[in-house]
Amino acid sequence: MSLLSAVFENSKNQNTPKSKINWIPLIDLAQLDEIVALSNEKPVAIFKHSTRCSVSRFALKQFENEFNSEDKVLTYFLDLLAYRAISNEIAARFGVHHQSPQLLLIKDEKSVYNVSHSAIDAKELEEKIEE
């Protein structure tokens, strides 16, 4: 498989990516209330992904390859093209500017970390989870 094939695999139907991460699909606005409540017990990460964007695909693959702390955080995946209203509500509810790709960490009902594009770094997220 070529490098380009690996980066662009499943580009037609990538609602929930295949990876070692057990992504929870974020497909309903009501899940945001659940995420807020859960964040009091365990950190929650939200990865916002554009299925039409090569930069987003690359950031997602790199994150999936490097992330090793799934047992310490709940990981939600948002296909923001299919669920734009949820993406907009995330921006409003957590006081962050919409980006794609974007990674947020929710703790104690607040976004305590949010990065986008090339700043998405699995190791940095793992450090923030521990704080």
pLDDT at 14 over 60: no
The answer on pLDDT for 17 being more than 80 is no
Q: Note the pLDDT tens digit of each residue in 116-128.
A: 998 999 999 999 9
Q: What angle do CA 69, 73, 77 make, to 5 degrees?
A: 100
Distance, in Å, from the CA atom of 30 to the CA atom of 19, rounded to the nearest integer, reads 25
Residue 6: what pLDDT? 43
